[in-house]
Amino acid sequence: MNMRYVVSAVVLLLSTNLAIAEEKPASTPFKYLDMPVKEAAQRAGVQPNQANNIVFDSEGRHVYLEASGGTVGYADVEFRGSAPCNPKQEIDSAAALQSLGMNAADLELAIQKPDNHTYYDHKRGLKVNVACSYEGAPLTVGFSRKQYNVLMGSTNH
């Protein structure tokens, strides 16, 4: 085998692993879904709590990863570094999703209320909910594969 190809492959592999390692833990929380809890905790840099859930703060966000068996089944993000929301005013779900590595234009908007936008990500098989729970609350985004499957008529997850 040509040594140039081997070196190129090794450099590509190392740079890919570094990019994964350098990713901020709260930047794309939906990637934790279906991941073993131990691996998710290691990537987030924390230990699971007594209920085997993972909770951490990063980048002005409070992240909660709920365990379902031995894997992460639900991810929830509170934006603590932004202005409090008001359920009577339309939320900016597109900006929240963009900051979490998703493009709202690529998702199906299923519910649009001023305080709650629910999307389906058919590419990743996710239900994504952006909500303002009460006046003065932080904006929250929840990711669930289970709810997507129930709503789409599949029970495989």
Instruction: Compute the distance between CA of residue 91 and CA of residue 107 in angstroms, rounded to an integer.
Output: 16
Spans of all domains in the chain: 26-151
CA nearest neighbour of 83 among 30, 116, 132, 27? 132
Instruction: Compute the distance between CA of residue 131 and CA of residue 115 in angstroms, rounded to an integer.
Output: 6
57 contacts 81 by C-beta, under 8 angstroms: no
Tens digit of each residue's pLDDT, the chain (157 residues): 454 443 343 333 333 333 444 468 889 999 999 999 999 999 999 999 999 999 999 889 999 999 998 999 999 999 998 889 999 999 999 999 999 999 999 999 999 999 999 999 999 999 999 999 999 999 999 999 876 665 555 544 4
For Cα atoms 75, 52, 66, give the angle at the middle one, nearest 5 degrees: 15
